[in-house]
Chains A and B, each alone.
Chain A
Amino acid sequence: MVPTSYYLILSAILFGLGIVAFVFKRNIITIFMAIELMLNAVNLAFVAFSQSLGKSDGEVFVLFVIVVAAAEAAVGLGIIILTARNRRSLNVERVDLLKL
């Protein structure tokens, strides 16, 4: 059997990679995808704990996370479309109207 901690470490690694992408990429959409990656990593941890402890609550929660991620992706991409049209670029550093 695969020990739970393996899954959890994998989840941690994926989460860290998501953070790196989130901080270093310049394309808005890529950053958004990094957020999805992080959510996935968390899902993995939830499922691992749920199976390990024998209770299904974790998986129910995973379902909710997926639903929320879907809603968020829909609205977020809508915003990105608008912003991209407005700024004529997908570079996050062009979205800097608040800069002094």
Chain B
Amino acid sequence: MPILNHLWIIPLLPLLGSAINGLFGKGWPNKTVNMVALGSTGLSFAFAVEAVREFFGNGQQPFRKEFFDWIVAGNFRAGFDLQLDQLTVVMLMVVTGVGFLIHIYSTGYMAHEGGYYRFFSYLNLFMFFMLILVLAANFVLLFVGWEGVGLCSYLLIGFYFLKKSASDAGKKAFIVNRIGDFGFMLGMFLLFRTFHTLDFDAVFKQIADRPADAMGQFGTLTVAALLLFVGATGKSAQLPLYVWLPDAMEGPTPVSALIHAATMVTAGVYVVARSHVLYTQAPTAMYVVAIVGCATAFFAATIGLVQSDIKKVLAYSTVSQLGYMFLGCGVGAFSAGIFHLMTHAFFKALLFLSAGSVIHAMGGEQDMWHMGGLSKKIKVTYWCMLFGTIAIAGFPPFAAFFSKDAILAAAYGHEPAGKILYGVGLLAAVLTSFYMFRLVWLTFYGEQRYDEHHVHVHESPKNMTVPLMILAFLSLTGGWFALPALFGGRDYFADFLSPVFGAAEAGGGEVAASLEHILSIVAVVAATAGLLVAWRMYTGKVKRGTSEGLHKILYNKYYVDELYQAVVVGPLIWLSRNVFWKVVDVGVIDGTVNGIAHSTTAVGDTVRQTQSGNTRSYAVWVLVGALVVFAIIFWPILHPAVFGGAR
């Protein structure tokens, strides 16, 4: 039975796992919950592998199947349609593979937490929605997955809901996502209005046949592309809607790894890549994407320089790396952007899980200034973290070297102003190397800045370390899909994705091979510089300085949250309280309802006067009534008589 005809199995299995765990798991021992959760995810991964195998067996023909009609309204049809092409293969493997590894890790990390069954139920639910998102063949179904992952993000960030900061963070994530979703929906509406369908194939074919919007012209395609990008900004935490991601670190670390590093936040990049036809026809929008991505990469890196919470550093690093992905897509190198998405999934998950391992070892401590000298004590975690850091800094032959390099090279060759984008991106790479190695030096080297008697440092159990090692391996080898010409290889990855991105890539930034070599060397030099400076500053005896001036601004995240609070949230709350509550709700709505009741009572009171209980007044009323009837009947005859007139 070919899996391709039953693609729905892949998302359905995690949904079943979620339902079973959610409904029945309350009293179960951890082992049973594990079986359900890991079983469903693992099977989903297996089926995904099988589907990919069949795909290759069919000669990599893009596959699409409509399972049932969901919305049929007039000429519009949105169905439960799933598709599989090369881009989907990449996303599918990343989501199910990394997802499965993180599930295994979570069995160890969450072993002593309350609400164990709830955690896995939510995690499986997330897998379901994310798989719907990547398998969808039309915008509507994608949006279902989009919203669903936002929901699961809220549920999982606020997992420790008894802690106010956690539930606040969950709310913040959901609300900021929603703002982005509003833009996404407007984009969808615009696309529907223009093309009368929302199926990917149909829309993109119609777009390809249209003339492109010129640079600077705000035609329909540009507006639609920008609106979809607003949604991507919210979901993938770019400027200005990134503010939820650092707060999302309130959730358990596996959540941060899965959702906020490897999968959910990449949904925005996926949408932009999937809609590459739209973006290539709207160069202004693409340019905006590149600029926002580049700016975010730099901006977030600067904030990450001075953070003291280990997870916050990684959060800002995620925002920064997502910026790189958008930069890649924005300059036309879509396959490079997706490539970086894949490698980032590997090393960022690795970094987060290692950080989780450190936190587990330290008994819950997350402040790096209270760590130090751990390299000898938790060897496996240390080596994995180091692998991940080397990878993210962009040293060959680790993964990110190839992907980041491809992006920067494409940016360099992009017109206009590609060199500026390249410069800022390179600077961000230096900063990335710096703060990541700062993290490693502070955590694992130097003297121990914690009290041995309170903290019993121990290595994590196998079910946590084995996924770490697998991810470390992938961080090393994952980049070998795209060896640049320097090493005598081909960009297999771009080749693989060329049936999807073909036309777009041709218009992207191209650089000569020799220039590419030079850029690669520059990148490595930059990364090394960052490493050395961090080494100088943060090993040996380190003391936490006071925070003032530039440091203070960076530490407080440029006060962006405070700005949003003052400019957006505060006025909105004031408006709600004083206008919508006091005026509209109490005054108008309650007033109308109460007013109707009051007027009914008043009318009743007035009419009651006729029922006086006094027989003689009843008699008079009878008389009055008779008179009225008489007048009505005889008026046509009477009024000439009363007022004169011809007889």
Name A residues whose Cβ lies closer than 8 Å to a Cβ of B. 19, 22-23, 26, 31, 92-93, 95-100
Q: Is the CB of A93 within 8 A of B616?
A: yes
B623 touches A93 (CB 8 A): no
| Cβ contact within 8 Å between A100 and B613 | yes
State the 5 A-B residue pairs at the shortest beta-carbon distance, nearest first: A99-B613, A98-B613, A92-B615, A96-B613, A23-B619
Tell me whether chain B's interface is mostly helix, strand or loop, or mixed: helix
- Interfacial residues, chain B to chain A (CB-CB below 8 A): 611-616, 619-620, 623
Cβ contact within 8 Å between B623 and A99: no
Minimum Cβ distance to chain A for residue B613 (Å): 3
> A23 touching B616 by the CB < 8 A rule?
yes
Q: In the complex, what distance in Å separates the CA atom of A48 from the CA atom of B614?
A: 37
**Chain A residues closer than 8 Å to B619, beta-carbon distance:** 22-23, 31
**Chain A to chain B contacts (Cβ below 8 Å), 15 pairs:** A19-B623, A22-B619, A22-B623, A23-B619, A23-B620, A23-B623, A92-B615, A93-B615, A93-B616, A96-B613, A96-B615, A97-B613, A98-B613, A99-B613, A99-B614
Q: Within 8 Å CB of B613, what residues of A?
A: 96-100
Set of chain A residues within 8 Å of B611, measured between Cβ atoms = 98
In the bound assembly, the distance between CA atoms of A96 and B613 in angstroms comes to 5
Neighbouring B residues of A22 by C-beta, 8 Å: 619, 623
User: How distant is the Cα of A95 from the Cα of B616 in the complex, in angstroms?
Assistant: 10
Q: Which residues of B contact A31 (CB under 8 A)?
A: 619
B623 touches A96 (CB 8 A): no
A92–B612 contact, CB under 8 A?
no
CB distance from A49 to the nearest CB of B (A): 16
Contacts of A99 in B (CB 8 A): 612-614
Write the chain B residue with the least CB distance to A26.
B616
CA distance A93 to B612 in the complex (A): 11
Q: Is the CB of A95 within 8 A of B620?
A: no
List chain B residues, Cβ under 8 A from A93.
Answer: 614-616
* Bound CA–CA A30/B428 (angstroms): 110
Q: Give the distance to chain A from B616, nearest Cβ to Cβ, in Å.
A: 6
Q: Which residues of B contact A26 (CB under 8 A)?
A: 616
Q: How far is the CA of A19 from the CA of B627 in the complex (A)?
A: 12
A63 to chain B, nearest CB (A): 24
Residue ID in chain B nearest A34 by CB atoms? B619
Interface-centre pick from A31, A97, A98 (highest chain B CB count, 10 A): A98
Cβ distance A71 to chain B, nearest Cβ, rounded Å: 21
Taking the nearest CB of chain A, how far is it from the CB of B622, in angstroms? 9
What is the CA–CA distance of A92 and B619 in the complex, to the nearest angstrom?
11
CB distance from B621 to the nearest CB of A (A): 11
Question: With the chains together, A31 CA to B615 CA distance in Å?
Answer: 11
**A96 pairs with B620, CB closer than 8 A:** no
A24 to B613, CA, bound (A): 17
What residues of chain B lie closer than 8 Å to A92, measured between beta carbons?
A: 615-616
Closest to B615 in A: A92
Q: Which residues of A contact B620 (CB under 8 A)?
A: 23
Complex CA gap A95/B613 in Å reads: 8
> Considering the chains assembled together, what is the distance between the CA atoms of A99 and B608 in angstroms?
11
* Beyond A23-B616, A23-B623, A26-B616, 19 additional pairs, beta carbon < 8 A: A19-B623, A22-B619, A22-B623, A23-B619, A23-B620, A31-B619, A92-B615, A92-B616, A93-B614, A93-B615, A93-B616, A95-B615, A96-B613, A96-B614, A96-B615, A98-B613, A99-B612, A99-B614, A100-B613
